[in-house]
Amino acid sequence: MNWVKKKNLLTIESILYEGQSCNTLPDLWHALHSSYNSAKNRPINTSFLNETPQADQILWPLFSKQEFKDAIAKCSSSSTPGLDHISWRHLKSLITNDRYLQKIVQIANVCIDLEFWPSHFKLSNTVVIPKPNKNNYNSPKLFQPIVLLNTTGKLIEKAISNRLQFQLSANGFIDSHQFGGIQQRSTTDAGIYLTCLIRAGWLRQCHMSVLAFDIAQFFPSLNYQFLSLCLKKAGLNTNIVWFFNSYHSNRSTSYS
């Protein structure tokens, strides 16, 4: 019986960052922070944006109660809340009362109107968990950060996101060849699209070749300056662009 034998414990290696091991807690926080949350924000050449046509102007009516009801219906009650400990379960029972729902809708509308995102919603807690099935864990890249934000803010974000998804697909800014991050465009849809393309090519007696590549450190390396230009190109009005400006500034997180 192999499994009753003595099993050696795994050797624990400290996390290496830039060639140095992190032996104290502040060192560790520094290593984690610089690998997950430091955008370089280099100055970039955005001249090629002129090649993309300006999309149609998007109208932004006030939020309705129904949008928030729809957004919260998809949230899992068991997911962990943020620093203020208000869980989705609490929020779901609150929202059944029309008066409280009205307040949340008002907060959302005022946020857009004043182009401001409250600092309470910007606080988050980052929990770092190891990615599964790796041989050793000596680099911050082998860990997955999970960011816990305050749920009320997340609910408003969800309502905004649902609206953006619809409108950006409707005015054709998001290309039909782009999958992921959008409703109705999942991995399976991408797979079906790819196999269809291949089978269609075979019918034309061609053989198909595919070159797959990915982008290093995708999320942390997105550039803010470029994003705000994209928002303008997408046809969002200046109100929303400035709202996102406030949304992205002065965020802070703590690690645990």
Partner 1 sequence: MSPPSNVNVSIGQGSALSPILSALYLAPIIKTFKKRIKNLNKEIPIDILSFVDDRLLISQEKSYSLSNSFLLCSYNIISKIFINADLVIEHNKTELFHFIRACHPPNPSIDLSSVGGSVISPKPIWWYLGFYFDHRLNFNYHTHFYATKCLSTLSAMKMLGNSSRGLLPIQKRLLYRTCILPIALYGFQLWFFKGAPIIKNITKLKKIQQRAALWITGAF
By CB under 8 A, the residues from 11 to 40 that bind partner 1 are 25-26, 29, 33, 36-40
Quick check: 106 binds partner 1 (CB under 8 A)? no
Quick check: 129 binds partner 1 (CB under 8 A)? no
174-212 burial by CB neighbour count: b if 16+ within 10 A, else e? beeeebeebeebeeeeeeeeeeeeeeeeeeeeeeeeeee
Give the burial class of 168: count Cβ atoms within 10 A of its Cβ; 0-12 exposed, 13-18 middle, 19 or more buried.
middle
Quick check: 124 binds partner 1 (CB under 8 A)? yes
Quick check: 251 binds partner 1 (CB under 8 A)? yes
Residue 11 CB, shortest distance to partner 1, in Å, is: 26
For 251, other C-beta atoms within 10 Å of its C-beta total 15
Interface mask toward partner 1 for 190-219; x: CB under 8 A: xxxxxx-xxx-xx-xxxxxxxxxxxxxxxx
Residue 116 CB, shortest distance to partner 1, in Å, is: 16
Among 5, 7, 42, 99, binds partner 1 (CB under 8 A): 42
Our CB check for partner 1 shows the closer of 6 and 204 to be 204
Distance CA 217, CA 39 (A): 10
